[in-house]
Structure 1
C-alpha cells in the first residue's frame, strides 16, 4: 500500500455560496458559477508540488492543457475527476455522484492516508471530509481549521470581520487601519448612510459582507450620483434593491480612499500560510492589478515593487493579522489586501481566508524557479485577459502562436499559461516572469 495521496477540490463557488445563491438574476448566478468553474484548471498550477494527486474540478479539463501541465511539473500520479452534475457545490456534487465516488474510493484504497485540500475550507468541504472519514479513510486537512474552528474562515474572510478585528486591536496595533466606515443592515439604512458620506466626502464605497473578485462592491466617485441628498439616497436605494444580497447580508459603507498609484500600483498585497502548528510563513508580496470598479485581474510580484521601508511595514501588518487568526484556530492560506492612500496611510481593505487569485502563481514559480523567485525575478500575472480577437481558438493554437515566448526552464523566463477553459470566454490567463521588470513587460 502506498503512503499518501492528495485530493484537491477546486471549489471556488463554495467559498461564497450564500452570496451566489442569493442572486435574483438566474443568468447572473449561472454566469458566476460557470466563470468560477472555468478557472478550475488554473488550480492545477497551485498543487504542482504534489506527487500523488487526485484533482476534482467542475468541468473536464482540456487534454492539451493537461499535457502542458505535465510537461512543466513532475507528478508521479495525476487522476482527474469531474462530477457529472455541476451545481456550484462541487463537494456535494462529488458525494452525490455515486459512480464517481466509487471510482474515487477505488483509488484511495491504494493509500494509507488521504490529504484533503481545496481552494476554500467551505461548509461543503467539511461534509466531504467527514464522509471520507465515515468511509474508513485516514484523512488529514493541513490547510484547513478543525471543525471547531471552521467559523474563522467566513468570519475573518468577510468585510465586517476584518473591520471588527481592526477595531478590536486598535490599541495594540494603531497602524492597523481600515477606511472610515460603518456596518449596517438593510438597503434603506445603507442608502442613507452612503448618500450622506458621498455628499460629504465626494465618493463612497459600498460592500456586501462577502463578495468575490469585485462582485458585491459598488464604487461611486464624484459625479456618479446626484448632488442633492434625497435624490442621491433614492438613487442608491434603487441600485441596491436590484440584488437580493444587499437585503440578506450585512453591508459595509466606507470612505472612498484617494489611492496613491505610485506605491505598488496603489493596492499592496501579502500572502501567508498558517501551518498546522500555528506557525506563520510569508509566501510572497506584490501589487494587485484591479479595475476602476475594484475587479481583481492579477498581480505584479517582485522585490522592487515597493521600497524596503514600506515593504517591512506591510509584511508586519500581515504577520500581526495572522497571529490573531492563528490564536482563534484558523489554519491555511490567507492574504491581506491593502490600499495605499495619498495621505500616507495604509488601509486594510479585506483579507481572504483561503487560497487566492495568486496562490497558483506562487506555487508554480516556487516549483519552476525556487522559493526565492520573489527576490530574483519580476512577475506579472493576469487571470482573465480578454482578447480583442473574438475568434475562438484552442489551447494548442494559442501556445503555437507564442512558442518563442513560452517559459524556458533553462533561462527561467517566459510565459506560463494558467487556463485553457477560459478560452471559451475569449480570454487567456497567464504568468510572465523574467529577471527584470523591463524584460517582463517586453514579453
Structure 2
C-alpha cells in the first residue's frame, strides 16, 4: 500500500471568479485575472512532501525541480486540467483523463487528504463526486455548514459576528461602523464621520485584498457634493461594487511603526478545535512603499502579539462553534494609540500561508528558532515575460541556500504571461532580509 498523500487544489482564482469575471472587460481586469491564476503556484509550498498539487496551469518545470531540490521534496507532482479557466473545480471534473487519474490515485493511496485554497461550491462538488466513486479519502477542511465559509468571508458577516463577540469580550475591538443596504446609507455614515473631523472607509461586501475598498478623508473634499461625486465615480467604475451590501466604517489611522500598522494572525480549525499557525506583519518602507509580508523573528512585537492572539483565539473558538473548518486569517489595524482593531477575516488560505510552510521546511516547527522571511507576490521585473530558466539564472547568486546557509531567495511563482514573479527572502533577521530584497531587485531589475 502506498503512503497517504495530500491532494492540494489551488483554486485561488476560483474563489473570486464572480468578481474577476465581472471586471474582466478591461485591461486592468484581465491583468488581475492572469495574476490570480499565477498565485495558484504558491500551492507548491503548502503542507509538506508527498503531495499532488492541482493548479489551473502547470507550474514551470524548472521552478518545480529547483524548489524541490532546495527544500528536500522528493514526492511532489503537479497536474492541471487540459483547459485553462478561473473555475479549477469545473475544469478538473470536465477533464476525463485528469479525473480518472485522481480517482486512481485515491484508490492507490487510501486515506489521502484533500485540501483546497478555499472551500468553494465547486470544491464541494468534487468532494461529493469522489464519494460517489467509492474511494477512501479525508477532508479536514469541510465545514459542518456549507454556507458558513462565504458568510464569514463577507464583510457584513464578519462585522455581525464581531459585534456579538465584542459585547462579551472587550479584547475584540472593531472600528465604529454599520452595514448598509444602499449607497446613500454609506454616504450618510461617512458624512457623519466628516462632521466629527474623522475619516471613513467604504467596503464592498465581497471585496478582497484591498479591491473594493475606498478611503475617504475630510481634508480631500471641499464639500458634500464633491464627496458624493467621488463616491459615485468610484462605485460606478468597478463591478466589484455592483449589488450587495456595503460596509461603512471609521478609518483607523495606523501606527506604521508597529508591524506596518496592519498585522495578521492565521488560524486553522478542524473537528478537534482551533489553533494559531502564525502571526505576520505588513512591511512598509519609510516612504510608505509596501515591501511584502513578514513572518518570523520580530515580525510582531511580543506585547502586541499576546493581544492579537488573545482576540484571534476568541474568534477561532466562535468560528469553530459556528461550524467553520479550514484556514482563516484575522487582519488587524494598530491605531496610533496602540489599540488593535479587527478589520476582517478571510476564510481560506492566505498570502502568508506559503511563507509559513516555507519557514517550517527551512527552520523546523519551533517558531522561536525561526529567522525572518519576507514575501512579495507581484514584483514586476521588466517589460516582457521571460522563462523560469532565465529568471533562475539571473538570481543564481542569491537563491536559497546561499553558501549552504539558511539564507537566500526562493522564487515562488512566475506569471507566464506578464513580467511578474513572486519570491520569499530568508535570513536571520529583518535587517538582513531587507538588504537581500534590495539585492534581488537589483539582480532582476538591473537597478
Fold-level match, TM-score > 0.5? yes
Match of 1:124 in 2: 122
Query: What is the distance in 2 between the residues matched to 1:296 and 1:153?
Result: 29
1:414 aligns with 2:402: no
1:212-236 C-alpha deviation (Å, 9 max, x unpaired): 2111111233444x32113322331
Q: After TM superposition, give the deviation of residue 134 of structure 1 in Å.
A: 0.8
Q: Indicate the SS of the match to 2:178.
A: strand
Q: Higher mean Cα deviation, 90-99 or 103-112?
A: 103-112
Contact 1:179 1:347 in 2 (8 A): yes
Query: What is the distance in 1 between the residues matched to 2:430 and 2:21?
Result: 42
Q: Indicate the SS of the match to 1:36.
A: helix
Query: What is the distance in 2 between the residues matched to 1:256 and 1:269?
Result: 18
Match of 2:279 in 1: 285
Query: What is the distance in 1 between the residues matched to 2:195 and 2:151?
Result: 31
Superposition TM-score, scaled by structure 2 size: 0.89
Query: What is the distance in 1 between the residues matched to 2:31 and 2:289?
Result: 16
Match of 2:222 in 1: 227
Show the 5 A alignment for 1:45-60: 45-47=45-47, 49-51=48-50, 53-60=51-58
Q: After TM superposition, give the deviation of residue 84 of structure 1 in Å.
A: 2.1
Q: After TM superposition, give the deviation of residue 179 of structure 1 in Å.
A: 1.2
- Structure 2: which 5+ runs fail to align? 437-447
Q: After TM superposition, give the deviation of residue 340 of structure 1 in Å.
A: 0.5
Match of 1:437 among 423, 426, 430: 430
Contact 1:405 1:414 in 2 (8 A): yes
Query: What is the distance in 2 between the residues matched to 1:29 and 1:40?
Result: 17
Q: After TM superposition, give the deviation of residue 402 of structure 1 in Å.
A: 2.7
Q: Indicate the SS of the match to 1:69.
A: helix
Query: What is the distance in 2 between the residues matched to 1:399 and 1:373?
Result: 29
Match of 2:351 in 1: 357
1:17 aligns with 2:17: yes
- Structure 1: which 5+ runs fail to align? none
Show the 5 A alignment for 1:134-145: 134-145=132-143
Q: Indicate the SS of the match to 1:323.
A: helix
Q: Indicate the SS of the match to 1:12.
A: coil
Match of 1:78 in 2: 76
Show the 5 A alignment for 1:97-136: 97-136=95-134
Q: After TM superposition, give the deviation of residue 42 of structure 1 in Å.
A: 1.6
Cα distance change, pair 374–184 in 1 and its aligned pair in 2 (3 A) = farther
Q: After TM superposition, give the deviation of residue 267 of structure 1 in Å.
A: 0.7
1:42 aligns with 2:30: no
Query: What is the distance in 1 between the residues matched to 2:233 and 2:427?
Result: 48
Q: Indicate the SS of the match to 1:239.
A: helix
Match of 2:201 in 1: 205
Cα distance change, pair 79–436 in 1 and its aligned pair in 2 (3 A) = closer
Show the 5 A alignment for 1:286-305: 286-289=280-283, 298-305=292-299
Q: Indicate the SS of the match to 1:248.
A: coil
Query: What is the distance in 2 between the residues matched to 1:28 and 1:438?
Result: 34
Q: Indicate the SS of the match to 2:324.
A: coil
1:88-126 C-alpha deviation (Å, 9 max, x unpaired): 111011111223222333333322233111100111111
Q: After TM superposition, give the deviation of residue 309 of structure 1 in Å.
A: 1.9
Cα distance change, pair 245–431 in 1 and its aligned pair in 2 (3 A) = closer
Match of 1:266 among 261, 265, 269: 261
Query: What is the distance in 2 between the residues matched to 1:297 and 1:384?
Result: 10
Match of 2:393 in 1: 400
Query: What is the distance in 2 between the residues matched to 1:290 and 1:325?
Result: 31
Query: What is the distance in 1 between the residues matched to 2:201 and 2:89?
Result: 34
Q: After TM superposition, give the deviation of residue 24 of structure 1 in Å.
A: 7.4
Cα distance change, pair 306–368 in 1 and its aligned pair in 2 (3 A) = closer
Runs of 4+ in 1 over 6 A off after TM superposition: 294-297
Q: After TM superposition, give the deviation of residue 269 of structure 1 in Å.
A: 1.1
Q: Indicate the SS of the match to 2:103.
A: helix
Q: After TM superposition, give the deviation of residue 70 of structure 1 in Å.
A: 1.8
Contact 1:383 1:430 in 2 (8 A): yes
Superposition TM-score, scaled by structure 1 size: 0.90
Query: What is the distance in 2 between the residues matched to 1:291 and 1:131?
Result: 48
Match of 1:382 among 348, 358, 376: 376
